[in-house]
A and B are shown apart, each in its own frame.
Chain A
């Protein structure tokens, strides 16, 4: 086995066997899946407890309007509100008291809901939905125009602009700019996270080798550059393993969720939401079937492959620089001074990505997806919206040339730095090492 393979193997296995890696790798997809499915699942749960609402209707107009359903039962009483309140000292018999003081078509504020605990949103929207609807009908009827109801019904519109992407071969695909945004931001954010986390791991690894004084023992067997590259590649493989497992696990979990819960959630939750007038707009877009349908509009495989390419490019660009920083300092606490100039462009990149998402073809997006220090993150935001092929080629070429450049530079600093003990390093010193 060649020496660099040995180094890669050691870096890889010691990290993959760590408890923190295993936990993070297997928990994150569960967390993702949970974030998507739990709200949908909760929405689909029916509150089996029937709630009683006492209604004091002074106008006696709304008895027919307030229809009980499986969740709420309206009890009409003819007592003063004060008495009802006293009767129900411990809130056992009913949840709330609805007091209607006058004609709602004349005074829209004539109804009040009293309760001991905060009334939930669903009940409030349910009651106001029913009353609104009724008052509206009433008002329309008051105009005394025949077929008015029909006319109003017809004039109601709900405009939803579907976006369709034209492929080069002339086929049309249903697109969703919201989904493109979400996919872009998620992948940009993961790359950002990976560069920061794994870059820091490279740096910590180098510092650890230096402070534990193993480094000179090792470079008497291998070249410093081999040691540095072995570490960088080994950690990159750890990152790829994590991505691979995440994709695999998320896909498996989503598939399982879709097949077991998917249909029931969608139909019931959606109908319920519409019926009750809950106004949960997100339900329309968020339903899993819809999501899967829209996802078909994206070339996920293409996005995933570019994700890996840009992840590797960005990681290699930064990792070697992080290694150089690690080699120049004597302890982990000293790394800050030199790692700040490295983390700043990464943080700038994630901001540029957020702004680019609003205008993926604007000048900011274009330039930041060419500059190698920001392109791995910004390009991920642009990709789901479609990027001209030549731009990807130019961006990747610049990225590859840059990481060769930074690796070469970092290698020079590294091989001098790792053998320097107990020396306070300055920027001037680093510049000197570059020219040795």
Chain B
């Protein structure tokens, strides 16, 4: 089921086209990656989805209905440029932001207690934000973003400012939220996390979507027909080209490139399986990083 649809959204700033007929669909209960170099238009698109700016044309639909300002209640948004009131106490601030999202004070307190305990940061409650480190403040921001149990979560560069331990914590929380039924859109430059988390992506470059779809399918489509084979003896064949062959600890590692695009993997495998004992047969899919650089750099 589709939760969010963006259809032909155009946004023009004075003398600069920020989004040129952008469309995307986000299936419910999935993690969607919004990729692209700086200045491509990701943040503008995210702001339009959040009803912060209005598109010049096109529309955004949530659950099949045109988004209105009231729907913002169902979104949790962690902007790229994020901060907190420095002089305010952490607890008061979290409570204030939760109430702005429409939570009652009672519910907000209960939810905050749960999350502060989960992240083991209860002792921060009465601290002023200016006493927290950047990473600590980011944790508080993460909590205030997800506190009201939104159906749609939008994270703009969620991992910037986090150390590897906290990045991992946040990653796990994002997966947890997905498992509990939330739909997540996030933009990032970190392609590894895309491979780890995202099911679908859109790659935005120069105000347009240049690549879109399921991560596995995209990687497959960008496959270079190369395979890694570990075997006990050397392999040869007519239907592939041997790129390299090395011996490591008595095991022969061969990289081969299939000649015929349409040939099935099993056909290839069956031709070498007769020659020697095969330990590993793996199609070498390009990383998202390679695809990103290849697509954007063109």
A positions within 8 Å CB-CB of B: 1, 3, 6-7, 10, 14, 208-209, 212-214, 216-224, 419, 421, 432, 436
Cβ B83 vs Cβ A220 within 8 A: no
Complex-state Cα separation, A104 to B93, whole angstroms: 83
Interface range for B: 20 to 34
In order of increasing CB-CB distance, the 6 nearest A-B pairs are: A213-B83, A220-B77, A216-B79, A221-B100, A212-B83, A213-B81
Q: Which residue of A lies closest to B44 (CB)?
A: A419
Residue ID in chain B nearest A13 by CB atoms: B92
CB atoms of A217 and B96 under 8 A apart:
no
Q: Which of A1, A3, A214, A224 contacts B83 (CB 8 A)?
A: A214
Are A218 and B52 interface neighbours, CB within 8 A? Answer: no
Contacts of B75 in A (CB 8 A): 220
Q: Mark B126-142, 1 if CB is under 8 A from A, else 0.
A: 00000000000000010
CA distance A392 to B63 in the complex (A): 55
> From residue B126, how far is it (CB to closest CB) to chain A in Å?
15
Complex contacts, A432 vs chain B, CB 8 Å: 14
Given A3-B102, A7-B100, A421-B81, 17 additional A-B pairs, CB 8 A: A6-B100, A208-B85, A209-B85, A214-B82, A214-B83, A214-B85, A216-B52, A216-B82, A217-B79, A217-B82, A217-B144, A218-B97, A220-B75, A221-B102, A223-B69, A419-B47, A436-B14
The answer to the question of B87 belonging to the interface, with a C-beta cut-off of 8 Å to chain A, is yes
B84 within 8 A of A: yes
The reply to whether A14 and B88 contact each other, CB–CB distance below 8 Å, is: yes
Indicate if the CB atoms of A220 and B85 lie closer than 8 Å.
no
CA distance A254 to B58 in the complex (A): 67
Residue of A nearest to B80 (CB): A216
Task: Specify the main secondary structure of chain A where it touches its partner.
Answer: helix
Proximity bits, B234-277, A CB within 8 Å = 1, else 0 = 00000000000000000000000000000000000000000000
Cβ-defined contact, B96 with A10, below 8 A = yes
Partner of B72, one of A6, A208, A221: A221
Is B86 interfacial (CB-CB < 8 Å)? yes
Contact A1 B99 (CB under 8 A): yes
Q: Does B50 contact A (CB under 8 A)?
A: yes
Any A CB within 8 A of the CB of B225: no
| CB-based contact A217/B141 at 8 Å | yes
The yes or no answer to B101 lying at the interface (CB within 8 A) is yes
A230 CB to nearest chain B CB (Å): 10
Interface residues of B in 47-83 (CB under 8 A from A): 47, 50, 52-53, 69, 72, 75, 77-79, 81-83
Bound together, the chains give a CA A158 to CA B77 distance in angstroms of 79
Taking the closest CB of chain B, its distance from the CB of A393, in whole angstroms, is 37
Instruction: Judge whether B86 and A3 touch: CB under 8 Å.
Output: no
Across-interface contacts of B79 in A (CB, < 8 A): 213, 216-217, 220
How far, in angstroms, from A421 to B14 measured CA to CA in the complex? 16
Whole-angstrom distance between the Cβ of A226 and the nearest chain B Cβ? 10
The distance from the CB of A210 to the nearest CB of chain B, in whole angstroms, is 9
Closest residue on chain A to residue B105 by CB atoms: A1
User: Are B84's CB and A221's CB within 8 A?
Assistant: no
Q: A51 vs B198: C-alpha distance in the bound complex, in angstroms?
A: 97
Chain A, residue nearest B92 (CB): A10
11 example contacts (A-B, Cβ-Cβ < 8 A) are as follows: A10-B96, A208-B85, A212-B83, A213-B82, A213-B83, A214-B82, A216-B81, A217-B83, A220-B50, A220-B77, A222-B100
* Interface-centre pick from A208, A221, A419, A421 (highest chain B CB count, 10 A): A221
Contacts of A222 in B (CB 8 A): 100
Give chain A residues whose Cβ lies under 8 Å from the Cβ of B88.
14
Select the residue from A14, A208, A220 with max chain B CB neighbours within 10 A: A220
Inter-chain contacts of B52 with A (CB < 8 A): 216, 219-220, 224, 419
Separation of A279 and B14 alpha carbons in the complex (Å): 72
In the complex, which of the residues B14, B86, B100, B144 contacts A212, with contact meaning CB atoms closer than 8 Å? B86
Q: How long is the Cα–Cα vector from A417 to B102 in the complex, in angstroms?
A: 26
Alpha-carbon distance between A436 and B15 when the two chains are bound, in angstroms: 12
Chain B, residues 95-114, CB within 8 Å of chain A (1/0): the string is 01101111000000000000
Report A68 CB to chain B, min CB distance, Å. Answer: 66
Minimum CB–CB distance for A417 against chain B, Å = 13
Q: Which residue of B lies closest to A221 (CB)?
A: B100
CB distance from A332 to the nearest CB of B (A): 14
Closest-CB distance, B79 to chain A (whole angstroms): 4
**A212/B85 in contact, CB under 8 A:** yes
**A221 near B101: Cβ-Cβ < 8 Å:** yes
The CA of A209 and the CA of B69, in the complex, are separated in Å by 22
Report the separation of the CA atoms of residues A170 and B88 in the bound assembly, to the nearest whole angstrom.
59
In the complex, A18 Cα to B87 Cα: how many Å? 11
Collect the chain B residues with CB atoms within 8 Å of residue A216's CB.
52, 79, 81-82
Whether A6 and B96, one on each chain, are in contact in the complex, defined by CB atoms closer than 8 angstroms, is yes
The interface centre, meaning the residue of B53, B78, B85, B101 with most chain A CB atoms within 10 A of its CB, is B85
Using Cβ atoms and an 8 Å threshold, which residues of chain A touch B78?
217
Chain B residues in 8 Å Cβ range of A419: 47, 52-53
* B82 CB to nearest chain A CB (Å): 6
In the complex the two chains form, what is the Cα distance from A221 to B74 in whole Å?
Answer: 10
- Bound Cα distance A220, B96 (Å): 14
Q: Closest Cβ of chain A: how far from B52's Cβ, in Å?
A: 6
Docked CA distance A436–B14 (Å) = 8
Given contacts A10-B96, A221-B72, contact A212 B84 (CB under 8 A): yes
In angstroms, Cα B82 to Cα A419, docked, is 11
